Chains A and B, each alone.
Chain A
Amino acid sequence: MKPDANDKPAAGKHPLTSELLLLPDGRILVHNLTPAFAGLLKELNPDDEQIRLRSLPSTEHPT
């Protein structure tokens, strides 16, 4: 669940935050995607190229 915008987590005090918008046509929009959440989305949809590229280990990210 999205927290109140004014209470968003800042440095070091709160968990990391990503936000999702699930659309009726099945698309998922993501904001503030963390590496961990990218990994989760990749598990849900391994064929999504955008997510695949963003879930690579840091040493393998494309240039």
Chain B
Amino acid sequence: MICSTISGLPGVNAFKGTAPGFGLRREAKRHAALVGADEVFKSGVAAALCHRSPKSRAFLARERARIARAMLADCRFCAHDCGVNRLVGEAGLCHAGAETRIFMAQAEVSDELELIPTFAIALSGCDLRCDFCITGGPSWNPRAGEPVRVEILAGQARAALADGARTIMILGGEPTIHLPAALEIVAALPDDAKLVWKTNAHGSAQARALLDGMFDVWLADFKFGNDACAQRLAKVPDYVRVVRENLLWANEHSELMVRHLLMPGHVECCWQPVAEWLAAELPGVKVNLRSGFWPAWHSARHSDLRRTVANSESEQAGRIARNCGLNLVE
């Protein structure tokens, strides 16, 4: 059995009724002005935001990374919408500053079969606070690990590809809070490499606009089927709406795979509504139902999370998936 990596939006208004690029451009300009980063806009930002242009992915990623770094002055990459200036040391709920660190970079085979072997790059820090997080230490601490060295990472990724890796995966923690570094990594990778964005699907419209066209696959968690469980176990409000919004977007803009880590005692409150929503709104989308819950990190704070998933729960979850007609993948 393989255990998964357990891994809002006032900003969304900036994009309503406009093409993502235009909304992003306006937003980026506002943020860049805050930090005197006008040069960002002297290098053809419109081209940078149009992923359908003939420019290479690496070129676009490089341009977007510059915009994203300027946006740290008023960070709204995730749905918490903190609006803090990370460039001067202010910290939002994720506690991340301007620096990005990694706690893991290695070839792995524990993800979906069609994605492995993958070269996984795990960035420290996360905007959620899942008490059961299997990488809780570095995921809750953006200062864990060591600083990202883009060229070294890119060299390792290229070596992994040459050695048979099928994909390169950027994950966390949560990579959305580190968009500048994530885009810098993309800019250093071959244009034809298959890239996977492993996310908690709690990003903002700003983040999505920056990510548009950058990744071939969005591998997105849908952890909780209701806001009460999300609030209690991950301290995140308005969870279901935000995740649904991200999944619908991702399905329109890339290949989408949805993961659900079955939690003990949460088949009916979490998995069932997730399964029913996926069946209704994203029919045919690839779904990986994972049953290898591991009572890690602060799971013991919750009586329901002090054990693994019972076989009867796995079987019940499988029946729900079949009844919903989900396209399950391993």
Contacts of B109 in A (CB 8 A): 33-35, 38, 54-55
* Contact indicator B108/A34 (Cβ below 8 Å): yes
**CB of B97 closer than 8 Å to a CB of A:** no
Residues 23-63 of chain A: 1 if any B CB is under 8 Å from the residue's CB, otherwise 0?
10001111111110010000000000010011101110111
How many angstroms from the CA of A19 to the CA of B6 in the assembled complex? Answer: 13
* Contact indicator A29/B294 (Cβ below 8 Å): yes
* Contact indicator A10/B1 (Cβ below 8 Å): no
Interface segment among B66-74, B81-89, B161-169, B212-220: the answer is B161-169
Contacts of B120 in A (CB 8 A): 32
* Contact indicator B106/A32 (Cβ below 8 Å): yes
Binding site of A, secondary structure by majority: helix, strand, loop or mixed?
A: loop
How many angstroms from the CA of A53 to the CA of B109 in the assembled complex? Answer: 9
How many angstroms from the CA of A31 to the CA of B120 in the assembled complex? Answer: 13
Q: With A8-B145, A21-B294, A53-B113 in contact, is A31–B137 under 8 Å at CB?
A: no
Q: With A6-B138, A34-B109, A59-B164 in contact, is A12–B116 under 8 Å at CB?
A: no
**Most chain B CB atoms below 10 A, which of A28, A31, A59, A61:** A31
* Contact indicator B152/A58 (Cβ below 8 Å): no
* Least CB separation from A24: chain B residue: B308
Q: Which residue in A21, A33, A58 is a CB contact (below 8 Å) of B108? A: A33
Contacts of B145 in A (CB 8 A): 6, 8, 10
B118 CB to nearest chain A CB (Å)? 10
How many angstroms from the CA of A57 to the CA of B137 in the assembled complex? Answer: 32
Q: Which residue in A10, A23, A58 is a CB contact (below 8 Å) of B117? A: A58
Q: Which residue in B110, B135, B144, B149 is a CB contact (below 8 Å) of A30? A: B110
Query: How many residues of A are in contact with the other chain, CB < 8 A?
Result: 34
Q: With A6-B141, A11-B102 in contact, is A27–B113 under 8 Å at CB?
A: no
How many angstroms from the CA of A29 to the CA of B3 in the assembled complex? Answer: 6
Q: Which residue in B1, B114, B156 is a CB contact (below 8 Å) of A50? A: B1
> Which residues 119-156 of B sit at the A interface, judged by CB distance below 8 A?
120-121, 134-138, 141, 144-146, 149, 152-153, 156
Q: With A31-B110, A58-B166 in contact, is A12–B152 under 8 Å at CB?
A: yes
**Contacts from A to B (Cβ < 8 Å):** 4-6, 8-13, 16-17, 19, 21, 23, 27-35, 38, 50, 53-55, 57-59, 61-63
State the 4 A-B residue pairs at the shortest beta-carbon distance, nearest first.
A5-B137, A58-B164, A33-B110, A11-B105
**Contacts from B to A (Cβ < 8 Å):** 1-3, 5, 101-110, 113-114, 116-117, 120-121, 134-138, 141, 144-146, 149, 152-153, 156, 163-166, 292, 294, 308, 330
